[in-house]
Amino acid sequence: MAFNLSWAGAPLPDFSDHEEDSADDAQLDNGSGSEADDGQYRGDYDGNSTGEIDDTFATSHAQSKGKGKGKKKSIKESGTAAVPKKLTLDPDTYDARLIELKRQGFTDEQVSQKLKDEGRIQYEAKTVGSRWMRLKKLLMQQEDERLDDELSDWHEGEDDQLNAIAKAVAPKFDHQIQLLEQRRWHEISLHLANKLGQRKYTGKACRERVEAVKNGTALPPIEQAKNAEERRRMRDERIAANKKARQNARDEQRAKEQRAQARAEAKKRDLAEATRKKIDDALQKRSDKETAERIKEERRINKEKEKQHKAAVEARFLAEKQWIAKRKQAEEDLYKELTGYNMGGKKPGRMRKGKDGYEEEEEEAEASDVYDSEEEDIIDLINDDDTDEEDAPGISDNDDDLAFFEPQPPAEEEDTTTTPKPRKLSTLLAPRAGHIPAPVTKTTLLNPRSILTDAELERLLFYRSLPRRGPSETHAEVVARLAANDETLKSDELSQLLMHLSEKSKGKKFEKISRLREADARECDAGQMGVRSTDLEFVRRYEGYSGEFAGLVREIVEEEGQMVE
C-alpha cells in the first residue's frame, strides 16, 4: 500500500494493489439493512460479509449457553410452535362470529363466554381483545380496497378540507420521517465505508453529494480540480462554518439550560416564599389565638379581683356597722347600769333573748332588728348594682390593703349627748320623688364627697332615699345633687344623720351640713387613706375639672401656692 499527498496535505491510502470489486457487490439488498450493520460493527470491511450466522456457530453458542443447567428441559423434537391462528374474514369461521358479537357491543368477557356457550373455540377475554384489534386492521384494509375500487370523483370544497387536514397531521410524522432519513443515510455511509475500506464520509455528506449530483451543482472530484488553492480555501471555510455552527449550537444549548435552571430557581424561590408565607400566617394565627386567650384570662382575673374587692368592701362595711352597734349597746348598758334608766329616760323593759343568744330589752332588740334589716338592704344594693365598682378619680385601690384592713373606731367625741333609739335610715328622711339635676360649680367640685367612688355614691343615694344615678349623669353631677339635697334638709334631719354617723349633732345648720360632708368623706376608702378633695394631686386627676372647669385647676394651684408663701 502506497500513500499519495493530496491537495490538503493529508495522506490518503492507495488501494491500487487491491482487487477491484465487481459492480454486483455495490448493489444493496432491499431488506432492512440490519445484517449489513452487523457486519459493519464486527469490523468486516472486506466486502464479503453476508450478515448470515453459520449453523455451526449457532449450535456452539446454544451449547455454551446451556452449560451448567442440567435441570433445564429440552425442547421436544416432535413439538410444534404455538402460533396464532390466521386471521380470516370468511363468514363460516370463528372470526366472523367474533366480529359480529363485537359489532353488537359485547365486551371481551361476554364474547369469550358466548363462544364457549355455543361450543366454538375457547378464547380468553384477553385473546378476544387482541384478536379483535388485528381483525379491525384487516377490516380496514378490506374497506380501503373497496373504496379504491369504487373511487368516485372529488367534489367541490373537499380539496380545501384535505389540504387543511394534511397540514395539521404532517407535523405528527415529520420528526419520524426525519429520523428515518437520518437512519437511511447513515446506513448508506456505512456501506460506502465498507466498500472504500475506511469511513471517510458521514451520512450528511453522502446526502448532500447525492442531491448536488442530481441538481448538477456538485463540484468535480479533487483529482479533476483546476485550482487547488480555491478548493483548499473552500474546505477551510466549510470547516470554519461547521465549527461556528457547532459552537452556536453549544451556546444555544447552554443558554437553554441556563433558562431552564433560572426557571427552576425561580420556581424554587416561589415555593420557598409560599412556604415562608404559610409559616408566617400560621405563626400569626397562633399569636392571635394566644393574645385572645391572654386577654380572656386577664378579664377573668380582673373580674375575680373586682368580685373580691366588692366582697372586701361589703365585709368592711358590715364590720363597721357591727362595731358601731356594739359600741352603742355598750354605752346604753353602761348608762343603764349607772343611772338605772335607759338613754331615753325610761325604765328598762322586760328582757328577751336576742339573735346572738344574749338577753336584751325589747326596745334594744327592735333596734337590733332595724340594724339587721338595714344591713340586708345594703347587701342587696351591692349585689344588685350592675355598674362596675370603680375607684375614685385619681385614686387607685390596692387589694393588699383590703386584706389587712381592720375597722378602726372613729375619734371620740368631746361632747357626749344622749343617743336616742336607733331607727332605720329610710325612716329618717322623707322620700324625694323625681330626679332634680343640680348645677356643677367650683364649690361642688371642692365638696369633700368628690373623693367618693361611684359605688359609694350609689350607697349614699340609697341611704338618703334619693333617686339612683342616671345613665348619663356624671360623678360631679351626683356630688352636686347630694350637696343640693343637704340644703333642703331640716335641722333635725341633719342631726339624725349625724347621730347615725356618730358625729356631733349640735350646731347651726351650715355647720351640720359641713360636718356631714366631712364625715361621709372620712368614711370612704380614699378618705381613710388621707385623701382630701382639695389635694392638688387629686384636683389634677379628677374628671370633674374638664371642659368649662378646666381653668379651675390653675386657680386652685395658684391659691395653694399663695397659701404656702
Q: What is the average pLDDT across 451-465?
A: 85
Q: Which of 310, 476, 302, 463 is nearest to 386 (CA)?
A: 310
Mean per-residue pLDDT over the chain, rounded: 74
How many whole angstroms separate alpha carbon 112 and alpha carbon 98? 9
Classify 248 as helix, strand or coil: helix
Q: Which residues contact 527 (CB under 8 A, 6 or more apart)?
A: 448, 451, 521
Q: Which residue has the cell 339635676?
A: 437
Higher pLDDT residue, 372 or 442?
Answer: 442
At 81 the pLDDT is: 56
Q: Which residue has the cell 355647720?
A: 511
**Which H or E run contains 3?**
strand 2-5
At 40 the pLDDT is: 39
How many whole angstroms separate alpha carbon 64 and alpha carbon 96? 47
Higher pLDDT residue, 370 or 117?
Answer: 117
Q: Which of 92, 93, 112 is nearest to 102 (CA)?
A: 112
CB contact at 8 A, 535 and 552:
no
Please write the tens of the pLDDT for every residue from 492-543: 888 888 888 888 888 888 888 888 888 888 888 888 888 888 887 787 778 7
Q: Which of 351, 361, 372, 374 is nearest to 329 (CA)?
A: 361
Please write the tens of the pLDDT for every residue from 19-56: 444 334 434 444 444 343 443 333 333 444 444 434 44
How many whole angstroms separate alpha carbon 24 and alpha carbon 140? 41
CB contact at 8 A, 480 and 444:
yes
Q: Which residues contact 456 (CB under 8 A, 6 or more apart)?
A: 392, 524, 525
Higher pLDDT residue, 552 or 244?
Answer: 244
Cell of 82: 404455538
Residue 296 has pLDDT above 90, yes or no: yes
At 180 the pLDDT is: 94
Q: What is the average pLDDT across 129-144?
A: 90
Percentage of the chain with pLDDT > 90? 25
- Buried-state track 90-110, b at ≥16 Cβ within 10 A, e below 16: eeebbbebbbebbeeebebee
Cell of 92: 363460516
pLDDT band at 266 (very low <50, low <70, confident <90, very high): very high
| SS3 track for 509-551 | HHHHHHHHHHHHHHHCHHHHCCCCCCCHHHHHHCCCCCHHHCH
Higher pLDDT residue, 88 or 199?
Answer: 199
At 80 the pLDDT is: 53
How many whole angstroms separate alpha carbon 157 and alpha carbon 507? 128
Domain chopping of the chain, boundaries? 86-146, 174-218, 229-300, 425-565
- Please, where are the H alpha helices in 340-433? 362-384, 399-403
pLDDT band at 101 (very low <50, low <70, confident <90, very high): very high
Q: What is the average pLDDT across 58-79?
A: 48
pLDDT band at 71 (very low <50, low <70, confident <90, very high): low
How many whole angstroms separate alpha carbon 25 and alpha carbon 29? 10
How many whole angstroms separate alpha carbon 296 and alpha carbon 269? 40
Residue 337 has pLDDT above 70, yes or no: yes
Please write the tens of the pLDDT for every residue from 269-289: 999 999 999 999 999 999 999
The residue type of 87 is: L
Cell of 38: 452487523
At 373 the pLDDT is: 54
